[in-house]
Amino acid sequence: MSRKSVNKREKIDRVTITTTTMRVKKVEKRLLKYDELPDYMKDNDFILDYYRCEWPLKDTFLSVFCWHNETLNIWTHLGGFLIFAAMAVATLMESSKGDGAISNFLRTSFIATPLMTMLTMNRNNGSRNTTQGGHHGNFSESSLLDTSAEGTELVPLWPWFVFLAGAMCCLVFSSVSHLLACHSKRLTRFFWSLDYAGISVMIVCSFYAPVYYCFYCQPLFSLFYLTSITILGILAIITLFTPSLAQPQFRAFRACLFLGMGFSGLIPSVHATALHWDHPQLLVALGYEVLMGILYATGAWFYVSRVPERWKPGFFDLAGHSHQIFHVFVVGAALTHSAAIMILLHWRQGTPTCL
């Protein structure tokens, strides 16, 4: 064979290889149906289409701006992350006089109306001592959250920032996991474990502010409860990083573990209510915590039951499936919890220094 023929054949081979590579890249970037997925990516057999599978890392990153069955999973929690980041910034910018964005939010009807109602009920029942300050002869919505009373001390804000950090950690871990887990089998296992760890972190961090402010004058109880939930959270994270527990068949187990961690807060809640039963602020905050629990439990029900996509497989592939609904309930519950924390913080700031 002549040298000219060999060179021509090499050129043809290079063109063929290049063409094949381009075709492979196109295949890698297309959206797949459920039946085309490798076994490690099969999780919800009621979502039938629009899956990303083993895309190049760059394309996987850029898919945050594309429409697929994880788009709303990514953005529901990414949006929640931005909300809590804004709350953190607003708190840092708020002056010590309580005239910033967070205090103004507390004076809205969403927060102030339940407090005013409770105080009115107490006054009508002849209560004269509903707070340690004992100044309820005349009260108004504008003075309800005043924290400048004499004999008070500046209460630390670090527990509030612990909660915000935990919430942001959970939400950003979730968004990143839903974005990147499709890249490879190795990243799938890592990111779903990271996602579950983020939920555990958020649950643990959610305890810090309520327990700290409710037991501010009982530091030993505060230390006991916070140490207990922290140890429980660490054990949960270790457990959830076990690869076998990330499998779809353990979905109900994971939901029960998270709910169990959350509802363990009933013990300090009952204890705090017994200590401060005559303080309407704490009772209103407890009401928000009950609402938070209902929201989390409802979201967990959607997560486990896979409703509504099980009722009409394929119809909710892009929008409206159970995991997206679960995400919305998680953000709503976290915002409800933040309202409860703010009530407790301003109540504690308005009470006299511990004796």
pLDDT value at residue 102? 61
Q: How would you label 264-277 residue by residue, b for 16+ Cβ within 10 Å and e otherwise? A: bbeebbebbeeebe
Q: Which residues sit in the known binding site for Zn(2+)? A: 178, 323, 327
Question: Which residue blocks in the chain are alpha helix, DSSP H?
Answer: 3-29, 57-62, 71-93, 101-106, 109-124, 141-144, 158-180, 185-214, 219-240, 251-263, 266-275, 280-305, 322-349
For the chain, domain boundaries: 34-65, 70-108+156-350
What is the spatial distance between Cα 98 and Cα 45, in angstroms, rounded to a whole number? 51
Q: Which residues sit in the known binding site? A: 178, 323, 327
Decide if 262 contacts 203 (C-beta within 8 A).
yes
Q: Look up the pTM and report it.
A: 0.81
pLDDT string in tens for the chain (355-residue length) = 555 554 555 554 554 444 444 444 444 589 999 999 999 999 999 999 999 999 999 999 999 999 999 999 999 999 999 999 999 999 988 754 455 556 666 555 556 566 556 555 655 555 444 444 444 433 344 434 444 445 556 889 999 999 999 999 999 999 999 999 999 999 999 999 999 999 999 999 999 999 999 999 999 999 999 999 999 899 888 888 887 777 777 878 888 888 888 888 999 999 999 999 989 999 999 999 999 999 999 999 999 999 999 999 999 999 999 999 999 999 999 999 999 999 999 899 888 778 6
Residue 65's SS3 state is: helix
CA 221 to the chain's CA centroid: 26
What is the spatial distance between Cα 75 and Cα 324, in angstroms, rounded to a whole number? 9
Instruction: Supply the angle between the helices 322-349 and 109-124 in degrees, to the nearest 10.
Output: 50
Decide if 319 contacts 66 (C-beta within 8 A).
no
Contacts 24+ apart (CB under 8 A), 116-123: 116/141, 116/144, 118/280, 118/281, 118/283, 118/284, 119/144, 119/280, 121/280, 122/280
pLDDT value at residue 25? 45
What is the spatial distance between Cα 146 and Cα 210, in angstroms, rounded to a whole number? 19
pLDDT value at residue 7? 55
Question: Token match 């109540």: residue?
Answer: 347
**Residue 56 phi, psi (nearest 5):** -60, 150
pLDDT value at residue 262? 87
Count of alpha carbons within 13 Å of 113, Cβ hemisphere only? Answer: 3
pLDDT value at residue 16? 46
pLDDT value at residue 154? 80
Q: How would you label 300-339 residue by residue, b for 16+ Cβ within 10 Å and e otherwise? A: bbbbbebeebeeeeeebbbeebbbbbbbbbbbbbbbbbbb
Using alpha carbons, list the distances in angstroms from residue 292 to 189, 256, 260, 344: 30, 16, 14, 15
What is the chain's length?
A: 355
Class of domain 70-108+156-350: mainly alpha
